[in-house]
């Protein structure tokens, strides 16, 4: 994992989430705004999710292991205040820590503070985009480095750890190529799941686009309309149908 400005991303994108939560608090009907491409979620659910995540992770790091999720409830006061307080706490917990410092995490092979510095930054990046999309079909862009890292994290953690058998197949291949940053991936469907490598070679289908467009595609927030594709597009449709994060 290349060292990235995770603290900066968490601070910047977290501040934007706070602004959106404050906007909804001032206009309560906004809490019911639908989050595009996140079925069943509205803005209230999204901000509540983020506040709960910040609280759970901060408490679990402090406890040295996962706390009871049922204990994570909104305290007295507004949802926007809970989000702001929980975000401030997790930001403080992770600030200026050595990424190699041991810490409980969800990843069986990465029990470090660095796991959480990355995870919390990418959580803020994606959910800020989600929250802004509730107001504007063209949210503020995700910077290319964050897009690349979010894609890498999907392949480093979410799929191999959370969904190891997803997108299984018989050797079909997909090539993803970022056009605005250094990022290329070859995805091979195997009978037990996928294998991913950073490589450039001819595959059954290729998809080229900005890091943001590729991130939104692989995370189920965007289709292929923002991508240039070559080859068997049905594999990309399979991905959209089968890979649900």
Q: Say what the pLDDT of residue 84 is.
A: 98
Rounded distance between C-alpha atoms, residue 205 and residue 164, angstroms = 22
- Whether domain 6-140 has CATH 1.10.287: the reply is no
What CATH topology corresponds to 145-242? Nonspecific Lipid-transfer Protein; Chain A (3.30.1050)
What are the pLDDT tens digits along the chain (245 aa)? 446 899 999 999 999 999 999 999 999 999 999 999 899 999 999 999 999 999 999 999 999 999 999 999 999 999 999 999 999 999 999 999 999 999 999 999 999 999 999 999 999 999 999 999 999 999 999 999 999 999 999 999 999 999 999 999 999 999 999 999 999 999 999 999 999 999 999 999 999 999 999 999 999 999 999 999 999 999 999 999 999 88
The domain segmentation of the chain, as residue ranges, is 6-140, 145-242
| Phi, psi torsion values for 65, nearest 5 degrees | 180, 170
DSSP strands (E only) in the chain = 173-178, 184-190, 193-197, 205-209, 228-231
| Contacts of 27 by beta carbon, 8 Å cutoff, 6+ apart | none
pTM over 0.85: yes
| Contacts of 218 by beta carbon, 8 Å cutoff, 6+ apart | 151, 154, 176, 239, 243
Q: Say what the pLDDT of residue 245 is.
A: 82
Question: In this structure, how many other beta carbons lie within 10 angstroms of the beta carbon of residue 45?
Answer: 14
Structure token pair of residue 40? 């069943």
Q: Say what the pLDDT of residue 244 is.
A: 87
């Amino acid at each position: 994992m290349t060292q990235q400005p995770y603290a900066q991303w968490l601070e910047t994108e977290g501040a934007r989430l706070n602004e959106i939560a404050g906007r909804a608090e001032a206009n309560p009907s906004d809490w019911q705004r639908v989050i595009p491409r996140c079925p069943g979620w509205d803005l209230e659910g999204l901000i509540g999710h983020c506040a709960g995540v910040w609280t759970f992770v901060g408490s679990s790091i402090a406890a040295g292991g996962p706390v009871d999720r049922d204990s994570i409830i909104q305290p007295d006061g507004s949802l926007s205040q809970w989000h702001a307080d929980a975000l401030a706490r997790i930001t403080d917990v992770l600030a200026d820590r050595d990424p190699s410092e041991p810490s409980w995490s969800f990843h069986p092979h990465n029990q470090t503070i660095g796991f959480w510095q990355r995870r919390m930054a990418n959580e803020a990046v994606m959910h800020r985009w989600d929250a802004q999309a509730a107001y504007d079909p063209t949210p503020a862009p995700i910077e290319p480095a964050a897009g690349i890292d979010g894609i890498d994290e999907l392949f480093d953690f979410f799929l191999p750890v959370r969904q190891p058998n997803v997108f299984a197949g018989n050797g079909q291949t997909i090539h993803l190529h970022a056009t605005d940053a250094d990022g290329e991936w070859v995805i091979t469907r195997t009978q037990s799941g996928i294998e991913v490598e950073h490589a450039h070679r001819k595959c059954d289908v290729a998809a080229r686009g900005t890091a943001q467009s590729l991130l939104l595609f692989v995370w189920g927030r965007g289709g292929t309309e923002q991508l240039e594709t070559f080859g068997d597009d049905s594999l990309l449709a399979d991905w959209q149908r089968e890979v649900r994060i």
